[in-house]
């Protein structure tokens, strides 16, 4: 006979507990545990004996497992296909997260329109908008977007039945928080509802070979789709980042079972929708300035070298403690670089506010950005630019250690080649065994400041 029992699930980290607590034992967040009612069937003695008599499953070596070759579904958007690893995999479950207004609905509508134009069967399920509202957005995306069938439905059973009936090659559910199951008493968007919706959609998608894209919201802390438990159920997690006030958008993979997680796609929002930026380095370098506090970072995003401008501003302040603001980089990393600058390079900013920004709304997480951040702060502190006679800013990369040394980072040759393509030479970087042409090596942060003074004027004469 059926019985009900309750358990409590954290909407931030997915930790499960048998009793409610004010603070989650998993992530230490407060008031995040939500009750989930689970209906279970009591196992009888006859049922247990039947399971004991059943033959155990047989394992087989992986070399004997058939490996079907399935052709990926190209979305017609090169940057999206790059991040996905070559396109949508049939039967996969993709979670696309991002803040409101960033362009999630736009990019999914464009992808479905391209698939429909290529002869693929598609379905767009909307739970937040009516079909008329979806049509208004599709009108500016082109004729192919108007050929996409839309279903305005929030009932989970109805959505599953529609997918089962139409069997599309690709389906977008916008958004997964709006779906609700009548079998659960909790509100739509809760941990139980989101988990039930994801499980049901995953089952029907894998059974029919439908590539499903679930659009999810983000919390104030940046967690994708509210409860992080959803990220463990899907095959791929994509995060759409950027500032709504700016035109550039970046798409990166946080998890990908069918491709790399380090690829980055860059888009620009225009009136007709999202436009791919095939050469983002040209855009960012073209907007770089030769003012003090500005340098160019030679970064690597997956297999692509990317040049971005790192800007810094150092302003005296009487506020204690002074402000440390970082946009596009980790704030803890900034604090470490400031300590190394003060201890090993003689650049002390303890009585000043420090602001560091990666221009264009790009976020850089690799340690190779350390040297660019340090040089930008030192340049801003002295008020002198780091640029050559033609006004081209300094290009650099490298990891800064706690003892002031510059450490090796991968793909030095590709970083330098990308900088040379735009006339940025020499490139200041850690010393490598086989230095490519155009690289100016430095062993320590203090030595890098000296090289910057020698090759790019007297910008950091006192600091070096």
Q: What's the rounded Cα separation, in Å, for the pair 262 and 85? A: 10
Q: What is the pLDDT of residue 387?
A: 83
DSSP per-residue codes, 323-346: PEEEESS-HHHHHHHHHHHHHHS-
Q: What is the pLDDT of residue 152?
A: 94
Which tokens is 288 given? 């770089």
Which tokens is 297 given? 């970072």
What would the mean pLDDT of 27-45 be, rounded to a whole number?
Answer: 66
Q: What's the rounded Cα separation, in Å, for the pair 150 and 3? A: 39
- CA 274, 280, 286, 287 dihedral sign is positive
Does the pLDDT of residue 225 top 50, yes or no? no
Phi, psi of 326 (to 5 degrees): -130, 125
Q: What's the rounded Cα separation, in Å, for the pair 440 and 448? A: 9
Give burial (CB, 10 Å; 0-12/13-18/19+) of 455.
middle
Which tokens is 450 given? 């000296």
Q: What's the rounded Cα separation, in Å, for the pair 231 and 242? A: 21
Among candidate residues 421, 430, 424, the one with its CA nearest the CA of residue 448? 430
∠ Cα 23 26 29 (to 5°) = 40
Does the pLDDT of residue 92 top 90, yes or no? yes
DSSP per-residue codes, 361-378: G----SGGGHHHHHHHHH
Q: What's the rounded Cα separation, in Å, for the pair 136 and 106? A: 11
Q: What is the pLDDT of residue 228?
A: 62
Which tokens is 304 given? 């692509």
pTM: 0.78
Q: What is the pLDDT of residue 224?
A: 52
Tell which wins on pLDDT, 70 or 263.
Answer: 263
Does the pLDDT of residue 42 top 60, yes or no? no
What would the mean pLDDT of 205-228 be, rounded to a whole number?
Answer: 74
Which tokens is 243 given? 């500032």
Q: What is the pLDDT of residue 67?
A: 74
Which tokens is 2 given? 């059926």
Domains plus CATH for the chain? 2-54 (no CATH), 78-278 (3.40.50.300), 282-455 (3.30.230.10)
Non-local (6+) Cβ contacts of 348 within 8 A are: 341, 342
Q: What is the pLDDT of residue 43?
A: 40
∠ Cα 223 235 262 (to 5°) = 70
Ranking 231-245, 273-287, 301-315, 426-440 by mean pLDDT, the lowest is 231-245
Non-local (6+) Cβ contacts of 15 within 8 A are: 9, 24, 25, 26, 27
Q: CA torsion angle for 117, 154, 223, 359 (degrees, to 10)?
A: 40
How high does pLDDT run on average in the chain? 86
* pLDDT tens readout for residues 408-460: 999 999 999 999 999 998 899 998 888 888 899 999 999 999 888 777 754 44
Phi, psi of 436 (to 5 degrees): -70, 155
Ranking 298-302, 349-353, 450-454 by mean pLDDT, the lowest is 450-454
Q: What's the rounded Cα separation, in Å, for the pair 155 and 146? A: 24
Q: What's the rounded Cα separation, in Å, for the pair 367 and 397? A: 9
CB-based contacts of 431-436 (< 8 A; 24+ apart in sequence): 431/406, 432/408, 436/412
Q: CA torsion angle for 239, 243, 248, 253 (degrees, to 10)?
A: -10
- Reported as a pLDDT band with limits 50, 70 and 90, residue 241 is confident
Among candidate residues 432, 449, 453, 430, the one with its CA nearest the CA of residue 340? 449
Does the pLDDT of residue 249 top 90, yes or no? no
Share of the chain above pLDDT 70, in %: 89
- Reported as a pLDDT band with limits 50, 70 and 90, residue 98 is confident
Helices (H) and strands (E) in the chain, counts: 12, 21
Q: What is the pLDDT of residue 1?
A: 44
Phi, psi of 71 (to 5 degrees): -75, 130
Q: Which residues pair with 407 in a beta bridge?
A: 399
* pLDDT tens readout for residues 382-417: 888 888 777 888 999 999 999 999 999 999 999 999
Give burial (CB, 10 Å; 0-12/13-18/19+) of 51.
exposed
């Amino acid at each position: 006979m059926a019985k009900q029992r309750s358990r409590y699930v954290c909407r931030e980290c997915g930790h499960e507990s048998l009793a409610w607590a004010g603070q989650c034992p998993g992530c230490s967040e407060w008031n995040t545990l939500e009750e989930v009612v689970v209906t279970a069937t009591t196992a009888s003695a006859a049922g247990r004996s039947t399971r004991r008599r059943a033959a155990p499953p047989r394992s087989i070596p992986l070399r004997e497992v058939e490996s079907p070759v399935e052709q990926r579904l190209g979305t017609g958007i090169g940057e999206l296909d790059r991040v996905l690893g070559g396109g949508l995999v049939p039967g996969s479950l993709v979670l696309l997260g991002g803040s409101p207004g960033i362009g999630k609905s736009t990019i999914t509508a464009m992808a479905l329109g391209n698939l429909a134009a290529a002869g693929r069967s598609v379905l767009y399920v909307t739970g937040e908008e009516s079909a008329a509202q979806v049509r208004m957005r599709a009108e500016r995306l082109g004729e192919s977007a108007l050929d996409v069938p839309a279903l305005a439905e929030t009932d989970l059973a109805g959505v599953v039945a529609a997918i089962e009936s139409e069997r599309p090659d690709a389906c977008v559910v916008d958004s997964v928080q709006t779906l609700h199951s009548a079998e659960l008493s909790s509100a739509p968007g809760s941990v139980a509802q989101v988990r039930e919706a994801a499980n049901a959609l995953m089952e029907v998608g894998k059974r029919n070979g439908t590539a499903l894209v679930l659009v999810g919201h983000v919390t104030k802390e940046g967690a994708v789709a509210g409860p992080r438990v959803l990220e463990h159920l899907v095959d791929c997690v994509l995060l759409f980042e950027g500032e709504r006030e700016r035109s550039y958008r970046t798409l990166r993979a946080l998890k990908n079972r069918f491709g790399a997680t380090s690829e980055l796609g860059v888009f620009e929002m225009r009136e007709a929708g999202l436009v791919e930026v095939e050469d983002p380095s040209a855009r960012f370098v073209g907007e770089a300035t030769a003012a003090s506090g500005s340098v160019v970072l030679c970064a690597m995003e997956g297999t692509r070298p990317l040049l971005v401008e790192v800007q810094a501003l150092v302003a005296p302040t009487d506020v204690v403690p002074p402000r440390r603001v970082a946009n596009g980089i980790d704030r803890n990393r900034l604090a470490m670089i400031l300590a190394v600058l003060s201890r090993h390079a003689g650049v002390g900013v303890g009585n000043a506010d420090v602001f560091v920004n990666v221009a264009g709304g790009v976020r850089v997480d690799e340690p190779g950005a350390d040297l660019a951040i340090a040089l930008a702060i030192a340049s801003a502190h002295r008020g002198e630019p780091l640029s050559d006679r033609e006004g081209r800013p300094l290009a650099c990369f490298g990891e800064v250690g706690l003892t002031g040394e510059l450490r090796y980072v991968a793909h030095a040759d590709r970083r330098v080649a990308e900088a040379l393509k735009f006339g940025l030479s020499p490139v200041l970087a850690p010393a490598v065994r086989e230095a490519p042409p155009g690289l100016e090596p430095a062993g320590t942060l203090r030595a890098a400041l000296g090289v910057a003074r020698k090759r790019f004027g007297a910008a950091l004469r006192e600091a070096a």
